[in-house]
Structure 1
Amino acid sequence: MKNLGYYNGEYGLLEEMKIPMNDRVCYFGDGVYDATYSRNHVIFALDEHIERFFNSAGLLRIKIPYSKEELKEILKDMVKKVDCGEQFVYWQVTRGTAMRNHAFPDTPANLWITLKPANIKDMSEKAKLITLEDTRFLHCNIKTLNLLPSVIAAQKTEEAGCQEAVFHRGDRVTECAHSNVSIIKDGIFKTAPADNLILPGIARAHIIKMCKKFEIPVNETAFTLKELMEADEVVVTSSGQFCITACEIDGKPVGGKAPEIIKKLQDALLNEFLEETKEE
């Protein structure tokens, strides 16, 4: 089969799966999620994504009904059930199923998994970005299912003919609508601190690791919109696009001044992915 869905132990084609109306995700978006990619039926950076998933659930006091190892085995088993080895692997846990009530129900949490064919993006492609005021809540470090601000930002991005929106709180750049954003200036890789205003991206962590490997200085402090526009390179990172650079922000040209550094990082990140997901 091409795609696959899972809900509390039952699985089938995504278009045929059904869930209870009283799952709290329907009323409150009461849950957390994580996602990565697989190649050759091998899930990339699974341990890191599972750690972040459990951390997000813990911060919302959601009790995942599996251990980390049990969940990893469920995901590994699921990716082997689909025909294509290259998949977008997504999973989420919701607080449970109960009649609508804001307070927590005394019911077990629900586990969802969805798989669909997908490849990581070509890192040679340049991105056009827009900037938007960050009006989200103050717990952006939790990978919650409450994504309406990102949905609205994604729609504005599409209407502008761009690929991603950069959020900012006043003059401070935080992150993008569904990725992290960093800059390179004078040979230094600068990225926002992993505080409550950004999601600690797995791809962000990997590119920091590669910078340190190549002795590229890393500065994890907040940067401004002015610094963003004047950067030698603007870098967007996510699980599906390890290191994409921007060529335009709000219609103005940006970046393109440190191609050697970018190529070195892109090659290293791609090789890491290919090595970890090679055929078993």
Structure 2
Amino acid sequence: MKNLGYYNGKYDLIENMTIPMNDRVCYFGDGVYDATYSRNHVIFALDEHIDRFFNSAGLLKIKIPYTKDELKELLNDMVKKVDSGEQFVYWQVTRGTAMRNHIFPEDDVKANVWIILKPQKVKDMSQKLRLITLEDTRFLHCNIKTLNLLPSVMAAQKADEKDCQEAVFHRGDRVTECAHSNVSIIKDGIFKTAPADNLILPGIARAHIIKMCKKFEIPVNETPFTLEELMDADEVIVTSSGQFCMTTCEIDGTPVGGKAPEIVKKLQDALSAEFLKETDKVQEGII
């Protein structure tokens, strides 16, 4: 199949799938999601994404109708049904289907599981990004990967209208994260990234780049940094599941970065090698 959609055991091409009007996602965005990529029909960093998914659901008291192992098995099976081995792998759970009511439905209403798979490659890390900055007006639980993404949608649209690829959020002078990525800086050989508190999503790619920094004995500082530090950084790094370590050349029309290319290249090469190695694994006759 060229792509694949899944909803509570039924699957078809994404464009053929439908959902009940009373799925609570329609009224409240009442659910959480996670996403990663596959190569050779092998899903990258699946354990970490599943752990974060279950954590997000737990924080919202959503009961996922699968164990972690069952959901991993389902996802691994689904990616094999799509023709292309390089896919964007997305899944979400909503609280259930019931008549509109802000209060949770009764316990016998099961949560709904969605999976969406489509051909897509990870980003080319040689590309440079242009960013804008915006005040972070989101709620105070950004550590939950909730489906309520309107502030991020509006920010991404504003960035696109300015011919930029991302928007950097800040609360006052403190930089938090991007509309759909984490943002970090390199200054004087130190990798600095916002702490994994309730104001940012604890990105999987962020965790991997921190691991690589420690491997190469690059100091890591997980404390808040300011807009001034962002603009004065030797490098501004944007990370997400589809773009492991992208550098920035411009923020709000002002040139930035480009002063620590050796460190960036070392991290990019290591992250790319990690992705290729994990997705080259032989699984049930694949490859």
What TM-score, normalized by structure 1, do the two folds share?
1.00
1:170 is aligned to: 172
Q: Supply the distance in 1 between the matched residues of 2:55 and 2:281 (Cα, whole angstroms).
A: 30
1:74 is aligned to: 74
Other structure's SS at 2:236 match: strand
1:151 is aligned to: 153
Matched residue type, 1:137: F
Structure 1 runs, 4 residues or longer, greater than 3 Å off? none
Matched residue type, 1:144: T
1:12 is displaced (CA, Å) by 0.4
2:35 is aligned to: 35
**What are the within-5 Å matches in structure 2 for residues 188-227 of structure 1?**
188-227=190-229
Other structure's SS at 1:247 match: strand
2:248 maps to 1:276: no
2:198 maps to 1:229: no
Other structure's SS at 1:167 match: strand
1:99 is displaced (CA, Å) by 0.3
Other structure's SS at 2:75 match: helix
1:264 is aligned to: 266
1:80 is displaced (CA, Å) by 0.5
2:127 is aligned to: 125
Q: Which runs of 5+ in 2 are unaligned?
A: 283-287
Matched residue type, 1:247: C
Matched residue type, 2:66: Y
Q: Supply the distance in 1 between the matched residues of 2:181 and 2:10 (Cα, whole angstroms).
A: 31
2:285 is aligned to: none
1:86 is displaced (CA, Å) by 0.3
1:137 is displaced (CA, Å) by 0.2
Deviation by residue 1:203-246 (Cα, 9 ceiling, x = unmatched):
00000000000000000000000000000000000000000000
1:197 is displaced (CA, Å) by 0.1
Deviation by residue 1:15-51 (Cα, 9 ceiling, x = unmatched):
0001000000000000000000000000000000000
2:187 is aligned to: 185
Q: Supply the distance in 2 between the matched residues of 1:172 and 1:155 (Cα, whole angstroms).
A: 22
Matched residue type, 1:239: S
Matched residue type, 2:154: I
The number of equivalent residue pairs is 280
Other structure's SS at 1:206 match: helix
Deviation by residue 1:83-127 (Cα, 9 ceiling, x = unmatched):
000000000000000000000002100000000000000000000
**What are the within-5 Å matches in structure 2 for residues 67-106 of structure 1?**
67-106=67-106
Q: Supply the distance in 2 between the matched residues of 1:82 and 1:256 (Cα, whole angstroms).
A: 39
Q: Supply the distance in 2 between the matched residues of 1:279 and 1:82 (Cα, whole angstroms).
A: 18
Deviation by residue 1:246-274 (Cα, 9 ceiling, x = unmatched):
00000000000000000000000000000
Matched residue type, 1:93: V
CA RMSD between the two structures: 0.4
What TM-score, normalized by structure 2, do the two folds share?
0.97
Other structure's SS at 2:91 match: strand
Matched residue type, 1:127: L
Q: Supply the distance in 1 between the matched residues of 2:77 and 2:11 (Cα, whole angstroms).
A: 12
1:66 is displaced (CA, Å) by 0.3
1:53 is displaced (CA, Å) by 0.0
Matched residue type, 2:55: N
1:6 is displaced (CA, Å) by 0.2
1:5 is aligned to: 5
Q: Supply the distance in 2 between the matched residues of 1:12 and 1:41 (Cα, whole angstroms).
A: 18
Matched residue type, 2:237: V
Matched residue type, 2:17: M
1:279 is displaced (CA, Å) by 5.0
Q: Supply the distance in 1 between the matched residues of 2:19 and 2:170 (Cα, whole angstroms).
A: 36
Q: Supply the distance in 2 between the matched residues of 1:217 and 1:81 (Cα, whole angstroms).
A: 43
1:161 is aligned to: 163
Q: Which runs of 5+ in 1 are unaligned?
A: none
Q: Supply the distance in 2 between the matched residues of 1:140 and 1:174 (Cα, whole angstroms).
A: 10
1:140 is displaced (CA, Å) by 0.1
1:135 is aligned to: 137
